[in-house]
Structures are given as structure tokens and as C-alpha cells.
């Protein structure tokens, strides 16, 4: 079914296709709730987990960037997702970069984007979530980033996150700090350890001031390759995270390089700069997840994202150490059916391996 729809969608520019898909989902969310739910949702006790105090009905979530302004929260549950990460939201509304800013790479089933975090800003998104979040029974994560301000110093940029946190954290089940997006002075990300220290100090102080018990996750950049030996920067990030009590890590964001693609050099040159997502990212995400699993304390949650588009890909990520997975590009190429296919496949893979719960699979290949 999606393959027919996709043929039409792929005639449109990626952002137009995204808008068309959203419009269809908005209609379905109102007029065809039961049909959508019957077709897409799937439940099994094998898939549910309680992590960081949150109940997840299944481990497959929507990655940040797909529903930046939280427009479709009730729809994602109907579609069978186990949780949603809205955002990234910034304190100020942003139009993002000039178009075109998203490109499909069909030969690689991948995407390159340089969206530049277009979003309606924390105040407006908070108002929308406040209206609908009671109708949404799956966990809601909200990803925060800092407003684009090329000359902002670290302290001002951290305060930008704080203002978004103040408005949005009371409405969410968890908050992700998108520290891997180069929307900061001179293109540096908040993964730079001294900057991360400032950011976490500000956020955890705000969290205490609001007496919120909400888990805070950090989203990381991908490693340069799937074989890299991790350096002291990631060690420092984890130590700083440990000091402030960060509850989990998301691995990973898009890659700025173009390693391992089938798409030709001329086509890539025409596209230009941007973050690469989809299957070419998967091995690197798995590599980082494995490292995190070996390095982190039990109780800290790992969310694996990058090229998840099948049950086998999700299972590999989970066995590497991720308790939860997320997807973006897989949805674009495979459509909404992919969520149910992943969940059904995970149950079958657990049965094949004699596991009573998906939680029993987490980290079983982390030593590799
Ligand atoms: C068009 C587009 C926009 C994105 N926007 C965001 C964003 O706002 N915040 C964020 O943390 N990640 C963003 N991402 C990254 C995804 O959340 C995810 O980390 C990445 O795409 C790898 O997963 P995938 O291979 O399943 O797409 C975006 C990805 C794409 C393709």
C-alpha cells in the first residue's frame, strides 16, 4: 500500500512530501482513528518495559525532527509507536535554513538535511502540547536545542535551552538535550566538554527549581567510523553526565561526512552540506551504542537511532545495548507499516532466541 503512495510522494520535494503525509495523517487522526489503529497498532507484553520510571508499551519511537512542533501526537499512538520524541524545539521560533534543505538519496535509502531547526518556538509548542497531551497515552519526549544565534556565547545559548526546558519539561515524560546540533557559536556543539558542563549546570538547576523529577537524556553525534576507538571527549561527556545525573543517551544524530554511499560524487556535490541519515549511519550508531552499554551504569537508558528500518536492524541495536530505538528515515522509505513490522518481528526474534522479554535481549551482543 505505502509503495503506491510512495511513488506519488517521491515525485514531490522531500519537504512537500512530508507536509502531504502530515495532512493525510491529520485527517486520519480525526476521521479514521479506528481504521488506522486496527491497521497499524500491535501490542505484546514481550515488548513493554519500564525505563527511567516511564512505561514504554514497545521500544519503537519516533525520532526527533519528524514532528518538530508536536502536531500529530494522538496519531503516533494510533500508528503503533511506543513513544514519540517531538522537537527539536528552540526558545525562539525559527524558520530554519533556506530551501531546498532536505534531499533523498534513493540508492542508499538515505536522506541529507540541513533544515537548521525550523520550529514554532517553545511557547507555541507548549500551548499545543498542553491542549492534546492528555489524549496521548504513549510517552512523550521533547528534544530541546538552542536558537540559532551565531554570535551567542555559551552561557546565553545554555539559557536558551533553559527557557525551553522551563516551558516544556512540565508537559513531557522525558527531555532530550540535543547537544549534537551545530547551532552554536562558530559551529561548535554542546558536546564540547566545558560547554556541556555549563549547559547541564543550568538545566539541572532549573529542574530542581521546578521540582521536576523528569529524566534528562543527551543526544550524541555519530563516531567517525564503525571501528573507531573512542577518545577522551566521549569519556569526558559521560563523566560530566554522570556528575549531574543524566538519565540516558541517544546515539546518534546525523553524520556530516559521506562515507560508504552508493550515491555518486557529482550528486553529492550538487546537494552540498547537511547531515546524513538512514542505513549508512547504522553501523556507527550500533558501535556507539555498544560502547555506551559497556561504559554506563545500569539504570541509565540507551536509545539507539540511525538506519532502523526493519526488525533485524532494531534487534541488532537492542542487542548492542539500546533499550529503545527510534526512526526517521526508515519511515520515509518504508512508510507507517514499518512500525508494526518491526514490533512483530521483534516478538518473533525474542521467541526464536528463547527470550521472554525484549529487555532480556538488551546488551547481549555488547561485548563484541
Ligand atoms: C529531515 C531531518 C530532520 C531532523 N531534525 C532533527 C532535530 O530537529 N533534532 C534532532 O535531534 N534530530 C533530528 N534529526 C535526526 C534524527 O532524529 C535521527 O537522529 C537521524 O536521522 C538518524 O536516524 P534515521 O537514520 O532513522 O533517520 C533529523 C533528521 C532528519 C532526516
Q: What is the pLDDT of residues 127-146, one digit of tens each?
A: 999 998 878 899 999 999 98
Alpha carbon of residue 309 to chain centroid = 14
Place of cell 530541546: 144
Give strand pairing partners of 218: 177, 249
Q: Is the pLDDT of residue 183 over 80?
A: no
Contacts for 103 with CB less than 8 Å, ≥ 6 apart: 14, 111, 112, 113, 271, 274
- Whether ligand 1 lies within 6 angstroms of the CB of 178 is answered as yes
CA nearest neighbour of 70 among 146, 130, 159: 130
Whether 65 lines ligand 1, by a CB cut-off of 6 Å, is yes
- Indicate the top mutation candidate among 85, 94, 147, 328 to test ligand 1's pocket, ranked by most ligand atoms within 8 A of CB: 328
At CA 115, angle to CA 79 and CA 192, rounded to 5?
Answer: 105
- Would 114 be classed as within a structural domain? yes
CATH number, domain containing residue 100: 3.20.20.70
Residue 65, domain member (yes or no)? yes
Q: Is residue 15 part of a domain?
A: no
Backbone φ, ψ for residue 91 (5° rounding): -60, -35
| 350 assigned to some structural domain | yes
28 pLDDT band (50/70/90 cuts)? confident
The string of DSSP codes covering 24-42 is HHHHHHHH-HHHHHHHH--
* Phi-psi label, residue 87: left if phi above 0, alpha if psi -120 to 50, beta otherwise: left
Within a domain: 12: no
- Which of 277, 332, 333 has the most ligand 1 atoms within 8 A of CB, as the residue to mutate? 277
In a domain? residue 301: yes
> pLDDT-derived band of residue 184, with 50, 70 and 90 as boundaries?
very low
Nearest to 250 by CA among 146, 171, 334, 325: 325
Q: Is residue 366 part of a domain?
A: no
Q: Give yes or no for residue 254 CB within 6 A of ligand 1.
A: yes
Whether 245 is covered by a domain: the verdict is yes
pLDDT above 80: residue 109: yes
Which of the 8 DSSP states describes residue 299? T
Q: At 13, is the pLDDT very low, low, confident or very high (cuts 50, 70, 90)? A: confident
pLDDT tens for 277-318 read 999 999 999 999 999 999 997 789 999 999 999 999 999 999
Altogether, the residues listed in the chain come to a count of 368
Q: Provide the 3-class DSSP secondary structure of residue 232.
A: helix
Angle in degrees, CA 209, 213, 214, rounded to 5: 105
Is the pLDDT assigned to residue 61 strictly greater than 50? yes
Closest ligand 1 atom to the C-alpha of 110? 25
Looking at residue 111, its pLDDT comes to 96
Number of domains in the chain: 1
Report the pLDDT averaged over residues 318-322.
Answer: 98
Cα of 354 to ligand 1 centre, how many Å? 34
Give the pLDDT band (50/70/90) at residue 185: very low
Give 62 Cα–ligand 1 centroid separation in angstroms: 10
Mean pLDDT of 94-114: 93
Find the domain containing 61 and state its range.
33-361
Question: Omega into 252 within 30° of 0, i.e. cis?
Answer: yes
**Overall pTM surpassing 0.85 (yes/no):** yes
Largest Cα span, the chain: 55
Amino acid at each position: 500500500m505505502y509503495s503506491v503512495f510512495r511513488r506519488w510522494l517521491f515525485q514531490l520535494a522531500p519537504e512537500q512530501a512530508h507536509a502531504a503525509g502530515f495532512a493525510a495523517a491529520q485527517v486520519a487522526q480525526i476521521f479514521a482513528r479506528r481504521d488506522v489503529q486496527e491497521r497499524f497498532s500491535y501490542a505484546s507484553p514481550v515488548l513493554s518495559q519500564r525505563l527511567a520510571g516511564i512505561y514504554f508499551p514497545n521500544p519503537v519511537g519516533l525520532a526527533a525532527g519528524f514532528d518538530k512542533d508536536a502536531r500529530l501526537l494522538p496519531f503516533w499512538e494510533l500508528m503503533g509507536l511506543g513513544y514519540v520524541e517531538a522537537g527539536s524545539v528552540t526558545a525562539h521560533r525559527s524558520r530554519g535554513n533556506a530551501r531546498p534543505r532536505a534531499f533523498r538519496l534513493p540508492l542508499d535509502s538515505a536522506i541529507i538535511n540541513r533544515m537548521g531547526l525550523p520550529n514554532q518556538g517553545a511557547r507555541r509548542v507548549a500551548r499545543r502540547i498542553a491542549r492534546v497531551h492528555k489524549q496521548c497515552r504513549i510517552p512523550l519526549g521533547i528534544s530541546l536545542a538552542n536558537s540559532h544565534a551565531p554570535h551567542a556565547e555559551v552561557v546565553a545559548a545554555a539559557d536558551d535551552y533553559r527557557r525551553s526546558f522551563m516551558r516544556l519539561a512540565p508537559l513531557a515524560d522525558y527531555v532530550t538535550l540535543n547537544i549534537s546540533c551545530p547551532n552554536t557559536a562558530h559551529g561548535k556543539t554542546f558536546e564540547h566538554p566545558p560547554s556541556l558542563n555549563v549547559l547541564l549546570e543550568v538545566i539541572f538547576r532549573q529542574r530542581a527549581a521546578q521540582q521536576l523529577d523528569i529524566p534528562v537524556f543527551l543526544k550524541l553525534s555519530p563516531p567517525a567510523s564503525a571501528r573507531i576507538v573512542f577518545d577522551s571527549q566521549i569519556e569526558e561527556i559521560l563523566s560530566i553526565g554522570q556528575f549531574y545525573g543524566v538519565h540516558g543517551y541517544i546515539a546518534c544524530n546525523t553524520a556530516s561526512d559521506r562515507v560508504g554511499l552508493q550515491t555518486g560524487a557529482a550528486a553529492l556535490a550538487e546537494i552540498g552540506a547537511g547531515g546524513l541519515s538512514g542505513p549508512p549511519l547504522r553501523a556507527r550508531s550500533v558501535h556507539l551504542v555498544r560502547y555506551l552499554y559497556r561504559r554506563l551504569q545500569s539504570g541509565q537508558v540507551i536509545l539507539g537511532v540511525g538506519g532502523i528500518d526493519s526488525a533485524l536492524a532494531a534487534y541488532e541495536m537492542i542487542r548492542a545495548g539500546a533499550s529503545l530505538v527510534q526512526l526517521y528515515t526508515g519511515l520515509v522509505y518504508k512508510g507507517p507499516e514499518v512500525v508494526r513490522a518491526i514490533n512483530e518481528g521483534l516478538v518473533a526474534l525474542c521467541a526464536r532466541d528463547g527470550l521472554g522479554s525484549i529487555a532480556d535481549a538488551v546488551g547481549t551482543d555488547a561485548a563484541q
